[in-house]
């Protein structure tokens, strides 16, 4: 059996014909297996959705109770039979509830990674290596230039700036699902025990993280604070809010942005960021290549990101590789934050 007999790229996303389902479809389908809650992967309107409980909860918070015709929560490691195939979900280390999806049919094993990172994150389950014959990998940071710094060191840089500029608020742009909560948790792990303020657009997801017993300490809404309270405080907000009218309430703030894209100085300058923090929820170049090697896969499909460079690397390592060229995946929070910025 060929890999294409199990999974095939379509305009709606990767389709498993023997199993009768799609993985992270970009359009409404009859049955969808969803890797995680970011809106470029988790869309409303499917007939049935299978995902981890956390991903289902996040979809419900974002889209309402009727986001799908039916839902089914799948535990990590649980094997479900779907038509002529089996599927299981395994930790991806990207955000809370994120999963890789392993599909097996007639002895051939294909793993669709979704978005993933193979470094520690206090807010989600650690990435699990899943051996396979074919690995479908993301490539958001699929260029050798993207070698992310130590995230704890970046948090230390932020805290040193707070100590240096005690009279100024520090605005930290961070994606609303996953990154914001990870930054808060890492600040707590570094010993920062002061209240951390958040933009209103982040409240629902942040409170959900706290309900899942993730300790974020004292988190307050910034709209309830006065200017005098915010000197020397850290305020987490969607990236788009940094350049919005909303940010003008802060006198002379220090502007930071937590993202793997801050590895590119031009991106920081374009956003008016004075304190770039290279903290990513995606694997960097070394993480991508190490994971591909460790899976033992002889064939690699590359999607959503810098596909060509990673395909070239795979072929240089004598691996069969191809880009999938599926449109519809990307930095979903940039678009989402634009809509949220007035919240």
Q: Beta strands of the chain (E only): which ranges?
A: 7-10, 13-16, 21-23, 31-33, 46-51, 68-73, 79-82, 85-91, 99-105, 108-112, 134-139, 170-173, 196-198, 219-221, 234-237, 254-258, 275-277, 299-305, 320-323
* Cα gap 225→248, rounded to integer Å: 14
Q: What is the pLDDT of residue 229?
A: 85
Q: What is the mean pLDDT of the chain?
A: 93
pLDDT at 259 over 90: yes
Q: What is the pLDDT of residue 1?
A: 83
3 state SS of 118: coil
If pLDDT is split at 50, 70 and 90, which confidence band does 331 have?
Answer: low
Render pLDDT for 122-173 as a digit per residue (tens, 0 to 9). Answer: 999 999 999 999 999 999 999 999 999 899 999 999 999 999 999 999 999 9
pLDDT at 341 over 70: no
Q: What are phi and psi of 288, to 5 degrees?
A: -65, -50
If pLDDT is split at 50, 70 and 90, which confidence band does 69 have?
Answer: very high
pLDDT at 70 over 80: yes
Q: What is the pLDDT of residue 188?
A: 98
Domains of the chain: 3-145+281-331 (3.60.15.10), 151-277 (3.40.50)
Residue range 182-193: mean pLDDT, rounded:
98
First CA to last CA distance, the chain: 51
pLDDT at 336 over 70: no
Residue range 53-62: mean pLDDT, rounded:
98
Q: What is the pLDDT of residue 294?
A: 98
Contact between 264 and 141 (Cβ < 8 Å): no
Q: What is the pLDDT of residue 198?
A: 97
DSSP for residue 225? -
pLDDT at 75 over 80: yes
Q: What is the pLDDT of residue 327?
A: 74
Contact between 96 and 181 (Cβ < 8 Å): yes
Residue range 90-114: mean pLDDT, rounded:
98
Residue range 222-228: mean pLDDT, rounded:
84
């Amino acid at each position: 059996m060929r890999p294409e007999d199990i999974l095939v790229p379509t305009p709606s996303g990767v389709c498993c014909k023997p199993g009768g389902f799609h993985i992270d479809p970009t359009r409404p389908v009859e049955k969808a297996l969803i890797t995680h809650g970011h809106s470029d992967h988790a869309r409303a309107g499917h007939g049935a959705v299978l995902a981890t409980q956390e991903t289902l909860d996040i979809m419900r918070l974002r889209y309402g109770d009727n986001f799908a015709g039916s839902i089914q929560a799948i535990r990590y490691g649980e094997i479900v039979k779907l038509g002529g195939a089996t599927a299981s979900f395994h930790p991806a280390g990207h955000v809370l509830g994120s999963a890789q999806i392993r599909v097996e049919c007639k002895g051939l094993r294909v793993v669709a990674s979704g978005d993933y990172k193979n470094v520690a994150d206090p807010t989600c389950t650690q990435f699990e290596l899943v051996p396979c014959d074919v690995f479908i990998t993301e490539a958001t940071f699929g260029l050798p230039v993207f070698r992310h710094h130590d995230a704890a060191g970046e948090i230390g840089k932020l805290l040193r700036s707070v100590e240096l500029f005690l009279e100024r608020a520090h605005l930290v742009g961070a994606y609303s699902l996953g990154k914001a909560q990870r930054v808060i948790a890492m600040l707590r792990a570094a010993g920062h025990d002061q209240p951390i303020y958040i933009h209103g657009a982040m409240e629902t997801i942040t409170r959900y993280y706290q309900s899942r017993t993730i300790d974020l300490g004292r988190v307050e809404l910034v709209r309830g604070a006065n200017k005098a309270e915010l000197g020397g405080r850290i305020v987490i907000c969607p990236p788009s809010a940094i350049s919005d009218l909303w940010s003008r309430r802060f006198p002379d703030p220090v502007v930071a942005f937590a993202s793997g894209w801050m590895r590119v100085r031009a991106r920081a300058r374009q956003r008016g960021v004075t304190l770039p923090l290279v903290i990513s929820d995606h694997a960097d170049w070394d993480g991508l290549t190490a994971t591909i090697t460790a899976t033992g896969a002889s064939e690699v499909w590359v999607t959503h990101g810098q596909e060509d460079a990673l395909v070239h690397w795979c072929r240089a390592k004598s691996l069969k590789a191809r880009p999938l060229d599926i449109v519809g995946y990307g930095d979903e929070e940039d678009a989402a934050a634009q809509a949220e910025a007035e919240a």
